Structure 1
């Protein structure tokens, strides 16, 4: 709008220069100059903050009224409705059609009509035909602009609704309806910062479902999903309105408790544990909970998580189905990350407790195997690999843990005929922790870059990946596409060969139009850049059919094969591949 005002001022000055012999030119030039100065001042206002304010739109309505007044004054000084300056009214209407809702457009058009009618009535020497033509033309412009504003606003509302649905998919665990890992950690960091700044208490409870692996093995994955859903519902039923519930791992939930002391958090955790224990399922379900708190004994995000994790571990060792509050029940406060957690991580690495599991990635056209993703499992642990990696990072052993996971994948996958996808965090790549594995890599390795850390130097990461490609011929894949913003930056800066669509996009793809639209846009993007799309987490024939229909080239998921210790031969075809629409 401000730039449009500058352009209008320039045209007006040119008109004055060409007609300088007519009356009021100096006054009109001064009025235009004053309007340009006011526009400059408006341009310096904090527009983003104003737009976020509930009544921010009234500033723009006021600006439009001022422009109408400006044009009216110039027209009156130039002879009234017969002045060509009234054409500027059309510019105001066109701008409003692009910026305002239909109601604002009708209001502005009505204001201009009243003003023009008033000028025409005050100028008796103009004939009725001229007045009728001018007023009719402005009315038609106003009508067309109102229709344009209506269509534009409807599109804006549809886009806003789509963004809202996408945000929900990005930050919500689709199975349980709780926040997901990424959303929880964003909330956790913000809550810790607020608690430390205001010196108000903040507590964290981490709950882990007992014997969940055996539930899955004995009754199958669908039953395990039901257990996760019911546990999530149970936690939300007991939690207070201010509490934050998230699923942060396979069978692990976190409950953020603002304005809650350690003692209060322990009582809440007991209620959570008892409520889950009363669930009416075909078998008993229990949870073990660890509780920690700010401002003491924890003092940071890492300490808060570490102490709650230690509580879960102590609860498991003490027989499960119990709550351990940090600093009680014989649980000592760790003096540093080198205590407890570091010892556990070192044991996993030195005792070689990591086992590789391989899940095939297949062509959606004919089921032919493209390659395999190597996934890590820890012997004797129910914790998800992501939780072990988080513990390793807090202990300063993240790179060593990832390298050990690569070692396990390489040891079990030498005979793989096809591509081998190995997960790697930007941190492990940039620190060189994985470089020692390069001489043992088989051919056809794809480095699957995950979204684990904020990256400030993409050039360094791109150089590192280029060095890997030059040394051992690796390719690049970006993981978890569609689950956040950072992986979009990965795509723009790393030029990957493969893009892996996150499970949150694929789940229910056959019935969610918003997800289908987003997948379609990613297909178009991949085609324009030469990248290949892989859909992760395909679990039903309907999802597979929707993925194929959307134009995604490859897929992986439980529908085709579960991760297994030995990869199937390259001539294998998945039993779940043949689907019907």
Structure 2
């Protein structure tokens, strides 16, 4: 395996350098750079700079830059006619006579609007022309931001693929990566960090009790301690992180993308989790220093672990509690905490639903019949006594005659502590109980107080989860009713040739019952409850009824996830693909462009065309455009609205028209509502359009 990652498929730096050179010539500012924040610094990724001598890898103080004020304070992107250079550049301007100085800064944003980097230009002069050029520079920034985000995404995929390959060479005791994989990964991450000015942290975890456990209890116990540690730490890693056993009693954790604060938070989570599992550890952490690299970071982490004092809990870790709720939820963690405080074997929550009682959550390190969803109505239990008395109950020995009427023989209760649970409105919800199979004469009323101590947090979580479950059931019920009614109603909106006024195709739009959520909410809700594909395909089936009688192409809205499903491919097999346009929606992000593109490629060869929606509205659409190179680029309604009176909208639209021409795509302007907007769009060279000014959506009978 190569230690250095291959060059990314998206060459952001190559495009960035060409763009900076073009901006220097076109805008009139000679110095341009792209920088990313790394700790307190803005690190230069790409630069063309005859004025200050900046080179890639140089750093400016982020706090002192105009870039920071634009990003964090929302100030004007242009500073024109300054009498001196900004503070961040002042040390580099010594001996240089610039006269008046002007700057322009725009952010490069990622998929969720996060600022990934900033594009900055500096030069002499009064900068009177710069405000007019801001829309053009923003467009360049948006395209560069999409490229950078795409490269970072591909880098993350490459890292995940490496982790998958590394798992094939795991340490036989712990199942994690061996030392040689650790060293290879450090070299690879050093190259990535230098390219992207990305933070990286290392965490070392040492087991100071391992030798003693091996000596006293044997190597099987020692191997169990190692395995438990690896499992606990591994469960808290992200897909791109790496856990390796780098020495007999030591693990290393590589955290790409985590800086100082992120590594500190990780260390605290690990300390807490390992302590809960009864594992004594020493931990050392360090974050990559740009000037020294990751091998030096490893050495600093070694120094930190030597200075750390082990968090001592026990030398013979108890078996971890096993949740029977199907997840390691915060609620289950609270239950297990209460169980261990009391010293019980089982802990569970039961809930009343009408006249029936069910097990809601249960935790235990031992097999138990108390699984979530179990109907315990009519089954004798001390919980019934807690519910009927609405009072706490502590039973040190459930075989005593006073408990016989309620003793659960299937559960083999020997001792029991239980309290009633109440909702915020005071109504009875159920019980919180702990049980052991043997009598426990150490139990006292104070043990019920332990359960009461967590009641507030338990009920907060319970009621929030129950609200979510009710909301889910409501969404599923609406979807069932919609399906029974035949699915979404479809209307068709013509796509018009702006030069001739003739309809060249239609877009199918879904409509839902009056008084219910908007269409985008319907699709989002369906995706949330696992029915997104079914709803989209139902809408598609209804839309296809109009294909034989409608003019031109039929545009169908589908999410990236549904496009790659067998259900869609089966439907497309029987269609004239030269009349079909798939319009990729943004109900969900593209998780895997490679899979999407490989699915579309043979279909496009057969005539299928692709449209990307909402272009100009943000990262995601530009990312789609660059990755997919669609046949149609749909100009977002936010750019079309008032384009006749807004010069910045015109500038952005003009840039997209130029880009579309260079990639052999057609522009479709959405939401044209006035003659003035239509006139400007024609002047800009936009070929196609939709909107109420041209034609309203209509049902099939009115459209055919």
Give the TM bin, normalised by the shorter chain.
0.3 to 0.5
Q: TM-score, structure 1 length as denominator?
A: 0.46
Larger helix proportion, structure 1 or 2?
A: 1
Larger strand proportion, structure 1 or 2?
A: 2
Q: TM-score, structure 2 length as denominator?
A: 0.39
